[in-house]
Amino acid sequence: METLLKSHRQGRVRWDRMGRWALLAVLAVVLALYVQPALSYLSTWQESQARDADVSRLQAENQRLRERRRELRSATVVERDARRLGMVRPGERAYVIDGLPPARRR
């Protein structure tokens, strides 16, 4: 009779253990469902940071170009830049002098 009880105990389902395993399986599935959206959020956030840096760089360049445009509206600046390129006004004579040290820029 005792061997019959032992074999009966071994074949019996332990519902407390089954419940724990089922709970762990459900928890693993729920966790797996959150992984993809979390990774997507992280990659979107990183891309947003990169775009913000690009926007800041482009805004700085835009500001620099606006200042340059404002400078170029002045006739004196245009004439100075033209003379640096070796241009002369009609009727002027251009002279080239060799052997001078390079001019310092302001």
Q: Provide the pLDDT for residue 8.
A: 53
pLDDT tens digits, one per residue of 15-50: 888 889 999 999 999 998 999 899 999 999 999 999
Residue 38 CB burial class (10 angstroms; 0-12, 13-18, ≥19) = exposed
Residue 104 placed within a domain: no
Domain of residue 32 covers 13-84
Domain assignment present for residue 95? The answer is no
Q: Is residue 4 part of a domain?
A: no
Write down the pTM of the prediction: 0.48
Query: Is residue 25 domain-resident?
Result: yes
Residue 23 lies in a domain: yes
Q: Is residue 54 a contact partner of residue 48, using CB atoms and an 8 Å limit?
A: no
Query: What pLDDT is attached to residue 60?
Result: 98
**Whose CA is closest to 11, among 21, 3, 19?**
3
Residue 62 lies inside a defined structural domain of this protein: yes
Per-residue confidence band for 58, with pLDDT thresholds at 50, 70 and 90: very high
| Domains: count for the chain | 1
Q: How confident is the model at residue 4 (pLDDT cuts 50, 70, 90)?
A: low
**26 within a domain of the structure (yes/no):** yes
Q: Is the pLDDT of residue 2 over 70?
A: no
In a domain, 89, yes or no: no
